[in-house]
Amino acid sequence: MTYAPRALPKATPAARTARRGAVLHWIAVHALGVAAALFFVLPFVFLLLTSLMSDQQALTRDLTPDTWEWGNYARVWNTPGFLTWWRNTLLYAGLGTLLTVLSSVPVAYALAKFRFRGRRLALMLVVSMMMLPPQVVIIPMYLFWAKQLDLSGSLWPLIVPMAFGDAFSVFLLRQFLLTIPGEYLDAARVDGCGELRTLLRVVLPMARPGIAAVALFQFFYAWNDYFGPQIYASENPAAWTLSYGLESFKGAHHTDWNLTMAATVLVMAPVILVFFLAQRAFVEGVTLTGVKG
């Protein structure tokens, strides 16, 4: 440590006290940091440890496995349905994210850069839709999808609306687009670019971090969504997603906490992996609004 007082022979008593204070401060802060880190990390550690226990040991109060049963993960992976849930989740999250980005970018651009009457009203509407609990409109929406279009038992009632602009994504993208100076757009217009060309050639490249953040949020939203699949997909196991299937997995493996925890780890892992791959875009997005996620 560079804080050792011996390194500075001519230190006055006052300076020494100050330095000792700094060392104590460093120790206190980092001790607190380690304590907080334990609180955040230990649950993951216990889940992992339990997921590796044998069936018998999972019924005890033991904290660490006697034999490391890596085969538990293969057992979960080979459970009937698990791969289907995986595929459905990827479809919902992947296609949903793509549609959301495609439909939300032009809307956000218009709200950020066009001047028109009713813009403030439109913005207030976007924020209201963003804050709307999904349960408020679920009865009419369910009746619409199930009775009129006969699409319940699938994930389409969740995917199709994403082609019509997601309020949260529009809001977040707009916040991001506001930071792009208007001079760039004016320059493009002077050069004879139409609005669409300006959006595609000038705005999109500059908005890439914002788009990345929106895509990540939407992907995580769909991956984590429980309510939507519960309403529309529960009647048809072939349409279940991981979040919904995980719960029924617990129901089917009543006391096998080891298998349930292995399944839980398998559902958490991809999200955490994506986070590590795209950490910067993510943190930027959270600071931009910090509403969802």
Least distance from C-beta 49 to another protein, angstroms? Answer: 8
Q: CB of 290: closest distance to another protein in angstroms?
A: 4
Minimum distance from residue 78 beta carbon to another protein (Å)? 19
Nearer to another protein, 191 or 235 (CB): 235
Q: Is 152 in the site for another protein (CB under 8 A)?
A: no
Residue 278 backbone phi and psi in degrees, to 5: -130, 35
- In Å, what is the CA distance from 179 to each residue of 96, 173, 246? 26, 10, 41
Residues with Cβ within 8 Å of 270's Cβ and at least 6 positions away in sequence, in order, are 223
Taking CB under 8 A as the rule, does residue 4 contact another protein?
no
State the residue for tokens 């791959």: 277
Q: By the 8 A CB rule, do 251 and 186 touch?
A: no
Closest CA to 215 of 123, 119, 130, 102: 102
- DSSP label of 149: S
Instruction: Using CB under 8 A, pick the residue from 98, 193, 212, 271 that binds another protein.
Output: 271
Q: Which residue bears the tokens 């033991």?
A: 62
State the nearest-atom distance from the C-beta of 259 to another protein, in Å. 12
| Least Cβ distance, residue 110 to another protein (angstroms) | 4
Q: Scanning residues 210 to 249, which ones bind another protein (CB under 8 A)? A: 220, 223-224, 226-227, 230-231, 242-244, 246-248
Residue from 15, 26, 77, 83 in contact with another protein (CB under 8 A): 26
Judged by CB under 8 A, does residue 127 bind another protein? Answer: yes
CA distance 204 to 99: 16
Please give the full DSSP string across 16-41, using - where no structure is assigned.
Answer: HHHHHHHHHHHHHHHHHHHHHHHHHH
The reply to whether 50 sits near another protein by the rule CB under 8 A is: yes
Using the rule CB under 8 A, is 135 a contact of another protein?
Answer: yes
How many chain residues interact with another protein (CB under 8 A)? Answer: 98
Contact letters (x/-) for another protein, 167-206, by CB under 8 A? ---xx--x---x---x------------x-----------
The residue written with tokens 């020494």 in the block is 16
Taking alpha carbons only, the member of 85, 84, 224, 92 closest to residue 156 is 92
List the interface residues with another protein, window 95-124 (CB under 8 A). Answer: 103-104, 106-107, 109-112, 114-116, 120, 122-124
The only residue of 90, 161, 206, 278 in contact with another protein, by rule CB under 8 A: 161
Please state the closest distance from residue 241 (CB atom) to another protein, in A. 10
Choose between 9 and 213: whose C-beta lies nearer to another protein: 213
50: number of CA atoms within 13 Å, CB side?
Answer: 23
| Helix and strand element counts for the chain (H, E) | 15, 0
Q: How far apart are the first and last CA of the chain?
A: 39
